[in-house]
């Protein structure tokens, strides 16, 4: 792949530089353009929510930032450094596997279907990567995991396997597992969509706590408009792999400017 | 009508039992080789290095499409022409180990493929490297699926050990043949060999079935 030049800085500098920057990011699956020259900045400590119709590329944004797949064009910066690329002889070239693995430690991700490791207990799920990747001792890792499991209200169940936990409990363990890596940015992809209505609250409560107590940067994809409105610093409405409209929650929910945003919001509000 | 002689049975039983030891040793040793090498084949076929993937896939396909007995002869008799002299045991273990490794690699592959994509992504999102991802996340979950196939091939390799008699490994079949030609009586030795195989195969198969369920429970997966 060609090296990228002048349009993309080798690093972001300045006090107001964002912790996450998507610059001109394109992702295709064959002919299908899923992200279309996307630009998106997220400031440190900001809670950004992504809403939009199914298939508009919301999950893809998070997956690209987690470096689960390669992007086709553009650069993603994390913490001022290029993540999808790295510097070589004064130009940006595609990141090596090692660079990607290193960069991923800045990001944590929670999935719609939890993706807990079923053969490990809740605690084992939370200590595996801190020991292997961060080099913590087992004792340190357990201590950190227990604190986090306590924070999400799962300490009593820490020796249970996922099969014995409810959906809400699994998702709380999954959040603790991601946090145990001390990421700078947390990604939540519809973390309540697979849950029964009566347990959604226990997961959103954990996210509220994170927003209130920690200066974490978060990107959240959700269909819960009420929760999004309450908690977000900024809301981005996605349509066809682009940000159709964005603004503070009151701007976007109470006074949407674009027609597509209005249609989407009235459709979801009607659906309840 | 049968001319079955019990005193002959008692006379040859010690030799047959000794040979049973060799049969078990051959099956066990061959199986261990096949288990390890099969995993190497399976992982090589998943590597991102295309020539390795291609070479492994072709080798596995080749071994699977040719008879075991030919492979045994080949390793034992063709090796010396290239200056590789192998004892019957060594040649036999190489041949049977390679043969079953190629079958087991497919079993492993199916097991690995049965692990949901989300597990890979979770491992990736936690920055786990490939070695850890395979050894701690993927393979432990692949084993319950692979276990049934692995068990079948354990019984299979055991039942295929008589093929080693063709190059003179002193296992059960070879011993029964020798007894037969020494005494000109084949009924008792061959019948006894059949009974011994049955007495080992059947309980092993049922033990494997029960173990499969235990493993699934132990690693926290629901039993099938
Ligand atoms: N691995 C893939 N291969 C092909 N198409 C994909 C793949 N992943 C996602 N897509 C397509 O990309 C589009 C956006 O997907 P996604 O980001 O999951 O949407 P959203 O999360 O907004 O519902 C969809 O049309 C989807 O079918
Ligand atoms: Mg989605």
Chain mean position to CA B1: 39
Residue of B177, B161, B175 lying closest to B92 (CA atoms): B161
The alpha-carbon gap from A119 to the nearest alpha carbon of chain B, in Å, equals 4
| Domains: count for chain B | 1
Whole-number average pLDDT of chain B: 92
Ligand nearest to the CA of A57: 1
Domain coverage including residue B15: 6-218
pLDDT grade for B223, boundaries at 50, 70 and 90: very low
* CA–CA distance, A58 with A236 (Å, rounded to integer): 10
Instruction: Report yes or no: B143 and B111 within 8 Å, Cβ to Cβ.
Output: yes
Residue B35 included in any domain = yes
Whether the CA torsion B126, B129, B132, B136 is positive or negative: it is positive
The alpha-carbon gap from A258 to the nearest alpha carbon of chain B, in Å, equals 35
Q: Residue B20: what pLDDT?
A: 96
Residue B121 included in any domain = yes
Residue B224 included in any domain = no
Nearest to A115 among B118, B129, B140 (CB): B118
| Residue with tokens 């997961």, as numbered in its chain | A203
Residue B181 included in any domain = yes
**Cβ pair A119:B141 closer than 8 A:** yes
Residue of B158, B53, B34, B219 lying closest to B108 (CA atoms): B34
For B144, name the nearest residue in chain A, comparing CA atoms only.
Answer: A119
**Global pTM exceeds 0.95:** no
Residue of A65, A58, A77 lying closest to A17 (CA atoms): A77
Residues A115-159 have pLDDT tens digits of: 999 999 999 999 999 999 999 999 999 999 999 999 999 999 999
Side-chain half-sphere CA neighbours of A145 within 13 A = 25
Residues of A in contact with B116 (CB under 8 A): 115
Span from the CA of A54 to the centroid of ligand 2 (angstroms): 7
Residue B118 pLDDT exceeds 90: yes
**CATH code of the domain covering residue B181:** 1.10.3720.10
Nearest to A132 among B116, B122, B132 (CB): B132
The alpha-carbon gap from A156 to the nearest alpha carbon of chain B, in Å, equals 18
- Name B220's Cβ contacts closer than 8 Å, sequence gap at least 6: A118, A119, A120, A161, A162, A163, A164
Residue B28 included in any domain = yes
Residues A44-98 have pLDDT tens digits of: 999 999 999 999 999 999 999 999 999 999 999 999 999 999 998 888 999 999 9
Residue B200 included in any domain = yes
Ligand nearest to the CA of A52: 1
Angle at which helix B139-160 crosses helix B187-218, to 10 degrees, equals 180
Nearest to B127 among A117, A120, A129 (CB): A129
Residue B115 included in any domain = yes
**Cβ pair A163:B221 closer than 8 A:** yes
Residues A179-215 have pLDDT tens digits of: 999 999 999 999 999 999 999 999 999 999 999 888 8
Residues B65-112 have pLDDT tens digits of: 999 999 999 999 998 888 888 999 999 999 999 999 999 999 999 999
Instruction: Report yes or no: B34 and B153 within 8 Å, Cβ to Cβ.
Output: yes
**Cβ pair B136:A108 closer than 8 A:** no
Structure tokens at B184: 């000109």
Chain mean position to CA B38: 10
Residue B1 included in any domain = no
DSSP A23-73: EEEEEEETTEEEEEEEEEEE-TT-EEEEE--TTSSHHHHHHHHTTSS--SE
């Amino acid at each position: 792949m060609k090296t990228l030049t002048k349009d993309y800085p080798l690093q972001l500098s300045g006090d107001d530089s964002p912790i996450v920057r998507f610059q001109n990011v394109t992702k295709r699956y064959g002919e299908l353009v899923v992200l279309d020259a996307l630009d998106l900045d997220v400031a440190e400590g900001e809670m950004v929510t992504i809403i939009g119709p199914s298939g508009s590329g919301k999950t893809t944004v998070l997956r690209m930032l987690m470096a689960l797949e390669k992007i086709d064009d553009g650069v993603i910066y994390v913490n001022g450094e290029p993540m999808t690329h790295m510097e070589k002889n004064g130009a940006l070239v595609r990141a090596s596997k090692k660079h990607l693995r290193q960069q991923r430690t800045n990001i944590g991700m929670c999935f719609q279907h939890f993706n807990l490791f079923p053969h490990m207990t809740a605690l084992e799920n939370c200590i595996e990567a801190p020991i292997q990747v961060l080099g913590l001792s087992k004792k340190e890792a357990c201590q950190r995991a227990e604190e986090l499991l306590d924070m999400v209200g799962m300490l009593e169940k820490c020796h249970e396997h996922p099969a014995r936990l409810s959906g809400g409990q699994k998702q709380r363990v999954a959040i603790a597992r991601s946090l145990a890596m001390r990421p700078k940015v947390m990604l939540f992809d519809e973390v309540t969509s697979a849950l029964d209505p009566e347990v959604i609250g226990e997961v959103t409560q954990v996210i509220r706590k994170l927003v209130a107590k920690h200066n974490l940067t978060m990107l959240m994809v959700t269909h819960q408009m009420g929760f999004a409105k309450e908690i977000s610093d900024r809301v981005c409405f996605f349509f066809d792999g682009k940000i159709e409209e964005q603004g503070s929650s009151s701007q976007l929910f109470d006074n949407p400017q674009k027609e597509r945003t209005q249609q989407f919001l009235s459709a979801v509000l009607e659906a309840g | 009508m049968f001319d079955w002689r019990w005193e002959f049975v008692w006379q040859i039983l010690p030799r047959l039992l000794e040979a049973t030891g060799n049969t078990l040793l051959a099956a066990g040793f061959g199986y261990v080789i096949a288990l390890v090498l099969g995993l190497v084949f399976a992982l090589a076929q998943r590597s991102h290095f295309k020539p390795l993937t291609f070479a492994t896939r072709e080798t596995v396909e080749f071994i699977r499409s040719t008879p075991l007995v030919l492979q045994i002869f080949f390793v034992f008799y063709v090796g010396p022409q290239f200056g590789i002299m192998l004892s019957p045991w060594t040649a036999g273990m190489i041949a049977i180990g390679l043969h079953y490794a190629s079958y087991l690699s497919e079993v492993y592959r199916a097991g690995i493929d049965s692990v949901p994509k989300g597990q890979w992504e979770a491992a990736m999102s936690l920055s786990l490297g490939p070695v850890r991802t395979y050894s701690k996340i993927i393979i432990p979950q692949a084993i319950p699926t692979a276990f049934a196939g692995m068990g079948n091939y354990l019984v299979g390799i055991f039942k295929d050990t008589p093929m080693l008699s063709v190059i003179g490994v002193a296992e059960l079949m070879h011993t029964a043949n020798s007894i037969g030609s020494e005494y000109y009586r084949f009924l008792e030795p061959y019948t006894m060999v059949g009974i011994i195989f049955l007495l080992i195969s059947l309980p092993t198969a049922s033990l494997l079935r029960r173990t499969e369920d235990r493993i699934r429970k132990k690693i926290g997966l629901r039993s099938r």
